[in-house]
Amino acid sequence: MSGFLKWLAGLPPLAQIPLVLAAFLIVAGLVIFFVEIAPRSGRRYTVIRLLVCVLAPLAIFLALGSIWWAAAAAAVLGALFFLLDYRSKQGAGYLFQLIGFLSPALFLLAVGLVYPTIATFFKAFMNARGNRFVGFENFIYVFGQESNRVAIINTIIWVLVVPALSTIAGLAYAVFVDKARGEKFLKALVFMPMAISFVGASIIWKFVYDANAAGSPQIGLLNGIITFFGGQPVDFINIAPWNNLFLMVILIWVQTGFAMVVLSAAIKGVPAEQMEAAQLDGTNAWQRFTNVTVPGIRSSLIVVLTTISIASLKVFDIVQTMTGGANGTNVLANAVYAQKLEEGRASAFAVILFILVLPIIIYNVRQMRLQKEIR
């Protein structure tokens, strides 16, 4: 595989796309083909199954560049798997199909997410080079320094402020746009920031926040307005602690579109009879909104809040592009990146981030289990 990638890297970039896609689709096609013929009975198919069971692990390990006897061990395991499959209660070929469908995804997840996550937990208790156990030293470093505590507190503030404000803005806009002319076009305008990268969004807002010395012409929109009314220019990005709020505005600006689209669909899904009944009872628009619409879309509101909370916890690009974490604007996700050469400390930051996300994971897994039980 490293040989293939090396050969590929030597080609012109655009030529690499069809080649790597073709290679990938051939492998995927082979998997589907063997899965298809796996459950067929007859000696021929049994032999094919045996060959695949032995040769596929061998080929994979050789492709990954392991030494030959690791590959041989894999081949032996493959043969054992063949026997297991052969005697499977659901008939020969059943396990083979299952593994064919699931193993690519599960293998990648195990290698790329499960193993690294566990490794990070251990690395958080090791020194920078990962070869000596240091106990809680990394965490003492994280909690002991003012700047690191600021990063943790900032992350928490992000999670509290951004979901709330973007949901409110999105909800308000969804309500207005529901009764507005040119709904489609107006929606697209607010939704558009979602297509822009956080880096692009940061540049857009950097320009809004830009400040020049007093007296010289302002080119940032906000300072342009302030000086027009005779005020002194404000260096929005550098005045702690308010600069955090100005960075949050960027994420709110982006996420409002998301909240708006989901909540707009939810509002349109509130049964018209309920609204009409409330109208007949003589309620005004605000009363209808608080007593009929909001309770009606409660669960959609929770979904939107949770989704944006996750996004706010992981916010990285905005802080990295706007300030790089300077001037008291650091957040956990950026601290992990900034400390990437100090593996122990980076891991400690990542673990703290994980602990903050944990309640959201637990809540959603519980929701999921409830759903599975109902079905």
Partner 1 sequence: MSAVAPIDLPIDRKTEAQLKRGERALERSMARSTKNKLTSKGATIAAIIIAVLWTTPTFGLLITSFRPPELINTSGWWSIFVNPGFTLGNYEAVLTGEATTVTLPQAFINSIVITIPAAIFPLVIASLAAYAFAWIPFKGRNILFIGVFALQVVPIQMALVPLLSLFSRGLNLGGLEVFDGLGAGGNSYGQIWIAHTIFALPLAIFLLHNFISEIPHELIEAARVDGAGHGQTFFRIVLPLAMPAIASFAIFQFLWVWNDLLVALVFADGAVGPITKVLREITGNRGQDWYLLTAGAFVAMIVPLIVFFALQRFFVRGLLAGSTKG
Hey, which residues between 99 and 158 contact partner 1 (CB under 8 A)? 100-102, 104-106, 108-109, 111-117, 119-120, 123
Residue 266 lies near partner 1 (rule: CB under 8 A) = yes
Residue 261 lies near partner 1 (rule: CB under 8 A) = yes
**Binding to partner 1, residues 38-67 (CB under 8 A):** 38-40, 61, 64-67
In angstroms, what CA-CA distances link 142 with 122, 156, 341? 16, 15, 15
**Candidate list 144, 231, 241, 269; residue touching partner 1; CB under 8 A:** 269
CB 352 to partner 1: min, Å: 10
Residue 253 lies near partner 1 (rule: CB under 8 A) = yes
Span from 77-85, 137-145, 194-202, 239-247 in contact with partner 1 (CB under 8 A): 194-202
Which among 131, 356, 165 has a CA at the least distance from the CA of 260? 165
**Candidate list 83, 203, 239, 245; residue touching partner 1; CB under 8 A:** 203
**Cβ proximity of 297 and 266 under 8 Å:** yes
Residue 226 lies near partner 1 (rule: CB under 8 A) = no
CB 93 to partner 1: min, Å: 8
CB 94 to partner 1: min, Å: 8
Which among 264, 246, 374, 268 has a CA at the least distance from the CA of 322? 246
CB 87 to partner 1: min, Å: 16
Size of the site for partner 1 (CB under 8 A): 149
The CA-based angle 91-87-31, given to 5 degrees, is: 60
Question: What are the backbone angles phi and psi of residue 126, rounded to the nearest 5°?
Answer: -115, 170
**Candidate list 52, 150, 151, 353; residue touching partner 1; CB under 8 A:** 353
Residue 84 lies near partner 1 (rule: CB under 8 A) = no
Span from 131-139, 146-154, 157-165, 259-267 in contact with partner 1 (CB under 8 A): 259-267
In angstroms, what CA-CA distances link 2 with 5, 19, 223? 5, 15, 53
CB burial of 192-217 (b: ≥16 within 10 Å; e: otherwise) equals ebeeeebeebbeebbebbbbeeeeee
Residue 182 lies near partner 1 (rule: CB under 8 A) = yes
Site string for partner 1, 290-309 (x = CB under 8 A): ------xx-xx--x--xx--
Residue 173 lies near partner 1 (rule: CB under 8 A) = yes
Mark residue 169 as left, alpha or beta (left: phi above 0; alpha: psi -120 to 50; beta: remaining). alpha
DSSP string, 140-171: HHHHHSHHHHHHHHHHHHHHHHHHHHHHHHHH
The number of residues making up the chain comes to 375
CB 233 to partner 1: min, Å: 12
